[in-house]
Amino acid sequence: AVVRDVLWCFQGIDGRRVRRSTAGDEAYAVDASLGLAARDRVKELCELGWLYRKVARFCEGGGDKGAPRRGGLVVAALRSALSDELAEFYRLVAVLEAQLAAGQKNAHSGEEDAASRLTVRRLAVWTVEPRERLAVMAALCDAVR
């Protein structure tokens, strides 16, 4: 359940145990029933969702609700390139969701293989490079604004 919530967080969707905090756009609330180490790891992974939302808002129109798109051809080209990069991120999330579903299917059929099961730790490993890429893209979005 926690892994699914983290995958939803990557896409900007709130789950049962991981939600965007009402305190601000940058904060996440993680269910207190998780252990301290698991909560810390989940919060680190939630950074990916925050970065995704930041870049996606820029690609959609600059982030200001109701404001017209600004910037001309160079910014339009940047938005297009960032959208292409987000498509790669969507592919990664789809692969991770398929891996989670396969692990759950195997668990229900009694063929659970711990080596193939998707865990929070494995998510952390899978998302090192995408987090770095999204951080650079978010920095570009901030610089253009």
In sequence order, what are the residues at sequence separation of 6 or more whose Cβ sits closer than 8 angstroms to the Cβ of residue 66? none
Tell me the pLDDT tens digit for each residue of 9-21.
Answer: 999 888 888 888 7
- Residue 38 CB coordination number (10 Å): 16
Provide the pLDDT confidence category of residue 88 given band limits of 50, 70 and 90.
very high
Residue 135 has pLDDT above 90, yes or no: yes
What is the average pLDDT value for the chain, to the nearest integer? 85
| pLDDT (0 to 100) of residue 109 | 66
Q: How sure is the predictor about 66, in pLDDT bands with cuts at 50, 70 and 90?
A: very low
Residue 17 pLDDT: 84
How far is residue 36's CA from residue 15's CA, in Å, rounded to a whole number? Answer: 19
- Whole-number pLDDT of residue 78: 93
The pLDDT, as a whole number, for residue 6 is 92
Distance between CA atoms of 49 and 23, rounded to whole angstroms?
A: 16
64 versus 41: the higher-pLDDT residue is: 41
pLDDT single digits (tens) 105-130:
776 666 656 666 889 999 999 999 99
Please say whether the dihedral angle defined by the alpha carbons of residues 32, 35, 41 and 45, taken in this order, is positive or negative. negative
Q: Three-class SS of residue 64?
A: coil
